[in-house]
Chains A and B, each alone.
Chain A
Amino acid sequence: MKPKLIIGIVSIIVFTSLLMYNFGNSISTYVNFEEAEARTSSHVVGTWDSTGEYGFSRDTMQFSFHMKDRAGNVRKVIYPRPKPNNFEQATQLVVIGEMRNNVFYANEMLMKCPSKYNDSPDFEKASTIES
């Protein structure tokens, strides 16, 4: 075999393994609050627990609420920005951040909003907003 070909194959293998290694490290898996305690950064999926206190405090400039993860654990979540626009309507929340002392400090929050494609859309509602 030609030496150039060997160099080429070796560099492709090195590049690919490096890339895949780095890729594998930079993705993580969605966890629940209990699992998040042992990690430095985690993605938690869940829903807003509307029974607990929630709101934005203008003293601390933080928005806090309670969230129930998929395993049913409820924890307080602190988000350092104002309450996102469509927070109450969200059917699912993803918080990205760190769990410390039973409080989840979210650096980012993604909201999944209800699809317009549910089975009983309320046509009346849509028209009342118009007026």
Chain B
Amino acid sequence: MIAEAGRWFLNFAFLFSVCSMGLYAFASVRNNKKVERISNWFWGFKGVFVLGASIALIYLIMTHQFQYYYVWNYTSLDLETKYLFSAFYGGQEGSFMLWIFFAFFVGLGLIAWTRKPYRAPVMFVMAMTQFFLLSMIIGWDFGFTKIGASPFRTIAQEMPNAPFLQANPDFVPQDGTGLNDLLKSPWMMIHPPIIFVGFSMMTVPFAFAIASLWTKTYHGWIRPALPWTLAANLSLLTAIFLGGYWAYETLSFGGYWAWDPVENASLVPWLIGTAGIHAMIIQRKSRRAHKASLFFAILAYVSIIYQTFLTRSGVLADQSVHSFVDLGLYNQLLAFILAVTIMGIGFYLYRYKELPTPDKESKFLSREFMTFTGAMLLFILGLVIILGTSSPILGKLFVDNPTPPEIQFYNNWSMPIAIIMALATVIGQYLFWERHSWESLAGELITPLLITSTVSVVSIVLGNVTSIYYMIYIFAGWFTVIGNGTVLVRLLRKNPKLVGGTITHIGFGLLLLGIIASSVYTVPMLDPQTTNYNTRIEQGEVFDDEGFPITQKVEMFELKINQPKLLNEKYMVTYEGYELTNSPRPGQQNYRLRFEPIDGGEVFYMSPEVYPMLTSSGPNGVDWSVDPHVRTGMIKDIYLYVAGSKYVEQRNEEFERNAQNESMMPVGNQEEEQTEEQEDSQIIELSRGETKSVGPFSFTFRNFVPASEEALPENTQIGIRSLVHIEHESSGRAFEAEPLFAVYTEDDRSYTYSPPIEIQEWDMNVLFSKVRPESDTIELTVYGLDENFEEDWVLVVAEQKPFVSVVWLGTFMLMAGFSISIFRHWAREKNTVEKN
């Protein structure tokens, strides 16, 4: 019922978007206000339908209707409500819906605020993008071809050939497969909505650019488009930050950025959007760079659709750690990217000759030239990253079956570009507010340059930087911070409303410094033994079994319970055991590591976690996942995770044993195994109240407990239980057992009866084998406990990352700068609209 309604809502939304697209086009061509008003109504109704479809999907998810494929695939019964809600946009179909929904709101804003000549053509472009996006989720099946994948399709529609469905077409699964555990994070809840807000808003400069080409009014469009572009960029930046922070905190690859195709795909639109902002600012200030602002406004949106194409069509499936499911939308996505590119670039080239050209070239030492240089560099960096990310397609020019480029490719290109950008920001900012000749500029820059040189030398010495390349880079970073900082101080005195750009540039400088410190100067934390071993590997002194030299360094260490090791000659680290909990994830282990700085600093604890991934574990094996602990600090972060532990190894062995028992072990063998086990028994004598340690366990005899009749055999003379407390010392896990001891007679002979009590977790059996009433002592026989019971251990990977905090600080300053600029430009635009 509800799903049927949802499907109809989507169909109507699609039809209405087609209608509004046509009507807006008509209104633009004929300049017909009435038709435009009608199309606005169509736009509004389409939004209502999309809202209806979204509510329907959320309802299906909340009520756990697992016969629907989307609900089954992304949710499960045990999912918390907030994650049930975020599962709405957890899959491809739902995320398209969210995108459409946000773009609808952006459209409402445009209807309300856009000035006259642009409104209809801008809305035409908005409606066109909605048409394409909605076509991805309508799910029309014509038999010979399908259009879109509906979020409301049933399991039977998705998997018509599945045997269990052929047997019973009405089959409804009891539970869904659940949301990927890694995504159960508050950061991942807000990350997608912010991305789609950014995508939706980035449609606006594209729409304005098309409208400007259409109406041949090449100047006015940037005033309304600029605040939207700034806001889109702020959203994308926030989303990139959230993604990076999430990766750093939850994944075990050990960083916030890995040049992964999916990450790159989000960075490129931001870079090109930023290039567009620079061009628009020149155009607004000096009536130049019309061509560039149009070009970048178009390209920013093209790059968004291109990244959508790359990540959602399955092209990148082999290359990315992010798994995106191929929904068979390849052709539709290709049509979308082609339509947007041909419409944007084609129209641009068609009008190219008419576009205004400045009367004379700008001088080298002018704000126009410097800002334009910045825009070009951002654009070039974007191109380089697009090239690398497109390796599955473009790499075919060079080899068959291309692999992704080495990380070095990105670093080699981005570093010099960043250095030039850094220098351009300072000169550009000085020229932005005042005219300068070479002499006057040099005079202004003396003080900042002196400070920069001093600070750079200090950081190079303290950081032990040896590479000249890095020295130049660090100098450029500091120059950006200090040069722009000087401009900031002056602006604050004159007009604090203007500081947006300056703060952004300081943030950029900090980002450069933070990135180099945290990536190049990350050091593994190791114990002296491993460090020595690595030194010997470096010198080629370690050989493997076959006598060949080992070249790979060891970047982890083992800790035995309660046996401290010294890390990096700085911290005494002790593994103090683990705790098993079921919250927030069932079967999770919280490990406890004590860090004591040997120079007398404060003691602290790190608590990394390991948990079984529910979505991919089965009865045949557990898929373990790690959750690192990051201790953040101003100077440095300590990043640490448990790569292996005795508990995990034992659980895996258990699973292996079970699997073998089920498949091939005959019953006889199992018995044999048991008799074998019975040989390694231990006798423990305990008086009342006494505690004895045997291996890793401690046994305490608390008291005698009377035994109830039912448990005793017939003709019992004595029957008594003992209350025994057994504790695993390292983990603190404890059990209370009450083994029984009885003496009974049968055929005039006395027998003792001591049934074993099994403690499954430790594979241990406890028997109450003797009692000595005279001394108040009992004797326990324990099976499955041998003296060489292995002590608890963990394998730890730990890294020290300096100044990650500066990366975040730089990002926050970028965000703050963008926000200030949005307010400034928005206020100005609002004033002009109201005056009209």
Main secondary structure of the interface of A (DSSP, over half): mixed
Q: Which chain B positions have C-beta within 8 A of A128?
A: 619
Contacts of B398 in A (CB 8 A): 23-24, 27
Of A22, A81, A85, A126, the residue contacting B409 (CB under 8 A) is A22
Partner of A23, one of B174, B178, B387: B387
Whether A26 lies near B643 (C-beta < 8 A) is no
Residue B350 at the A interface, CB < 8 A?
Answer: no
* Chain A residues near B626 (CB-CB < 8 A): 85
A72 lies within 8 A of chain B by Cβ: no
Q: Does B413 contact A (CB under 8 A)?
A: yes
Partner of A113, one of B388, B554, B616: B616
Cα A119 to Cα B163 in complex, Å, equals 8
- Is B405 on the interface with A (CB-CB < 8 A)? yes
Q: Say whether B625 faces chain A, with CB atoms less than 8 Å apart.
A: yes
Which residue in A19, A56, A115 is a CB contact (below 8 Å) of B325?
A115
A100 to B551, CA, bound (A): 11
Number of interface residues of A (CB under 8 A): 50
Contact of A127 among B175, B388, B550 (CB under 8 A): B175
**A89 in the interface (beta carbon within 8 A):** yes
B408 CB–A CB distance under 8 Å: yes
Q: Which of B372-410 contact A (CB under 8 A)?
A: 380, 383-384, 387-388, 391, 394-395, 397-406, 408-409
Return the contact of A120 from the options B164, B406, B616, B643 (Cβ within 8 A).
Answer: B164
Q: Which residues of B contact A115 (CB under 8 A)?
A: 325
Nearest CB on A from B622, distance (A): 9
Which of A26, A103, A116 has its CB near the most chain B CB atoms (within 10 A)? A26
Q: Which residues of B contact A27 (CB under 8 A)?
A: 391, 395, 398-399, 402-406, 409
- What's the least CB distance linking B401 to chain A, in Å? 5
- State whether A86 touches B395 (Cβ < 8 A): no
| Chain A minimum-CB-distance residue to B795 | A82
Chain A residues, CB < 8 A from B644: 56, 82-83
Say if the beta carbon of A61 comes within 8 Å of chain B.
yes
The answer to whether B413 and A22 touch across the interface, beta carbons within 8 angstroms, is: yes
Question: A4-B361, A58-B558, A80-B554 in contact; A19/B387 too (CB < 8 A)?
Answer: yes
Residue B579 is within 8 A (CB to CB) of chain A in the complex: no
Check A129 against B614 for contact (C-beta < 8 Å): yes
With A85-B624, A129-B618 in contact, do A123 and B164 touch (Cβ < 8 Å)? Answer: yes
B325 contacts A129, C-beta separation under 8 Å = no
Inter-subunit contact A29/B546 (CB<8 Å): no
Contact partner of A126 (CB less than 8 A), chosen from B177, B318, B556, is B177
Query: Given the complex of chains A and B, what is the CA–CA distance between A32 and B643 in angstroms?
Result: 29
Shortest distance in angstroms between B530's beta carbon and chain A's nearest beta carbon? 8
Q: How far is the CB of B310 from chain A (nearest CB, A)?
A: 16
**Contact indicator A120/B163 (Cβ below 8 Å):** yes
A58 contacts across to B, CB distance below 8 A: 558, 795
Given A22-B412, A23-B387, A27-B399, residue A85 in contact with residue B623 (CB < 8 A): yes
* Residue A53 lies at the interface, judged by CB distance under 8 Å to chain B: no
Q: Of all chain B residues, which has the CB nearest A42?
A: B403
Q: How far is the CA of A24 from the CA of B555 in the complex (A)?
A: 32
- What residue of chain B has the Cβ atom nearest to residue A101's Cβ? B548
CB-defined contacts of A113 to chain B, threshold 8 Å? 323, 616
The 0/1 profile, CB within 8 Å of A marked 1, for residues 506-539 of chain B is 0000000000000000000000000000000000
Q: Within the assembled complex, what's the spacing in Å between the Cα atoms of A93 and B492? A: 57
Contact A28 B399 (CB under 8 A): yes
Known A-B contacts A22-B413, A27-B391, A126-B175; A88 and B621 likewise in contact (beta carbons under 8 Å)? yes
The interface residues of chain A lying within 8 Å CB-to-CB of B380 are: 15
Nearest A residue (CB) for B649? A56
Whether B705 is near chain A, meaning CB under 8 Å from some CB there, is: no
Q: Is A29's CB under 8 angstroms from B399's CB?
A: yes
Contact: B402 with A26, CB < 8 Å? no
List 6 A-B pairs, minimum CB-CB distance, nearest first.
Answer: A26-B409, A80-B552, A29-B399, A26-B405, A24-B398, A123-B173
Q: List residues of A whose CB falls within 8 A of some B CB.
A: 4, 15, 19-20, 22-24, 26-30, 43, 56, 58, 60-62, 78, 80-83, 85-86, 88-89, 94, 100-101, 103, 105, 107, 110, 112-113, 115-117, 119-123, 125-130
